[in-house]
Amino acid sequence: MLLDNQPRVRLMNGETPLEPAARLGNALGIPLCFKRDDVMSLGMGGNKVRSLEFWLGEALEQGCDTVLVGGLPQSNLCRLTAAACARTGLSCTVIHNADEPPAGSVLQGNALLNRLMGVQTLYCGPVDEYRRMDFIRQQAELLRAQGKKPYIIGDPVTGALGYVSAALELCAQADRGVIPVPLRHVFISASAGPTETGLLFGLCLAGGVTVHLVSVEYGEAVFWDIADKIFAGLEKRLGVRPACDMHQTARFYGQYLGGGYGRPTSGALEAVRTLARFEGIFAETVYNAKVLHGLMDLAQNRMLPPDEGVCFYHTGGSPALFGQAAQFAGGTE
């Protein structure tokens, strides 16, 4: 099989659910289903678990003993890296580009879960991700000087392998007839790249599905610059070249981003409420709420054929919602 030669640590308990979303689908006039990567056994789940199978696989293959990972205090990547390291028995250090909260602070969401896992946490102040990476590299040097073998999380091609695997899993589930019509459209966030590019690569191999990329971070040119590099890296790593053109297989939407990464939009907040009220499922506002807003807006404007199967790919991150409580304080009921 395609991924058999890649070092991997199993962190998932089988497949994640693919389930019909009949009430919301009926309201939108499309055959809708959800791929639930928010439903996993490890650490409250999320897309990063799939990538961590390959990141930690690489760490162990290289004989590393300490994992370093960076992100904001509400980062899902940091929480799931800490959880995967707990399960695997690797040491983990989380580096937040934020100021350290005062002693005795009440923590919420992912920050709370990190505290419960007792993960070593360092704060490098409110700097950008490049300065954060400089700080992480310095920490890795310090660890090497102590005789440790650090592994820094984040190689995008390695991380994307998890979503090549996810694409094959999704297609196999769709072929088993989870929704009554063939799957033709998949909606997912466009952000740093590994998740959506891996998915796109796998769906390109399978063929027949359009991937709708809803930007939550970058403009189109910057995004494709990142994605093209990951795609080329996957071709090299896996030794296969999808017959399709990635740019033809995907559609990119920049109009649901609003003020930028992490900045909520009213459409996204409304999508969170709609999802909860129609399906009893929760989405955070950085990624999934914006994707869902895009999906709902396109369906309502009749931009999606009423007879073609549509999948909303839920990438998880739901613990972050508890850190976003203030966004709903003004609340439209």
CB nearer ligand PLP, residue 55 or residue 287 = 287
CB nearer ligand PLP, residue 150 or residue 317 = 317
CB nearer ligand PLP, residue 143 or residue 165 = 165
Find the shortest distance in angstroms from Cβ 233 to ligand PLP. Answer: 14
Query: 3-state SS of the chain?
Result: CCCCCCCCCCCCCCCCCEEECHHHHHHHCCCEEEEECCCCCCCCCEHHHHHHHHHHHHHHHCCCCEEEEEECCCCHHHHHHHHHHHHHCCEEEEEECCCCCCCCCCCCHHHHHHHHHCCEEEECCCCCHHHHHHHHHHHHHHHHHCCCCEEECCCHHHHHHHHHHHHHHHHHHHHCCCCCCCEEEEEEEECCCHHHHHHHHHHHHHCCCEEEEEECCCCHHHHHHHHHHHHHHHHHHHCCCCCCCHHHHEEEECCCCCCCCCCCCHHHHHHHHHHHHHHCCCCCCCCHHHHHHHHHHHHHCCCCCCCCEEEEEECECHHHHHHHHHHHCCCCC
- CA-nearest of 57, 66, 30 to 162 is 57
CB nearer ligand PLP, residue 47 or residue 66 = 47
CB nearer ligand PLP, residue 30 or residue 190 = 190
Q: Which two tokens stand for residue 217?
A: 């971070």
Find the shortest distance in angstroms from Cβ 169 to ligand PLP. Answer: 17
CB nearer ligand PLP, residue 155 or residue 308 = 155
Find the shortest distance in angstroms from Cβ 216 to ligand PLP. Answer: 7
Find the shortest distance in angstroms from Cβ 85 to ligand PLP. Answer: 17
Find the shortest distance in angstroms from Cβ 189 to ligand PLP. Answer: 5
Amino acid at 95: I
Find the shortest distance in angstroms from Cβ 58 to ligand PLP. Answer: 16
Who contacts 16 (Cβ-Cβ below 8 Å, separation ≥6)? 35, 36, 37, 39, 40, 45, 169
CB nearer ligand PLP, residue 31 or residue 317 = 317
Assign 305 to helix, strand or coil.
Answer: coil
CB nearer ligand PLP, residue 155 or residue 235 = 155
Find the shortest distance in angstroms from Cβ 6 to ligand PLP. Answer: 17
Q: Which residues bind ligand PLP (CB under 6 A)?
A: 46-48, 76-77, 189, 191-196, 287, 315-317
Find the shortest distance in angstroms from Cβ 332 to ligand PLP. Answer: 24
Closest residue to ligand PLP, based on beta-carbon distance: 317
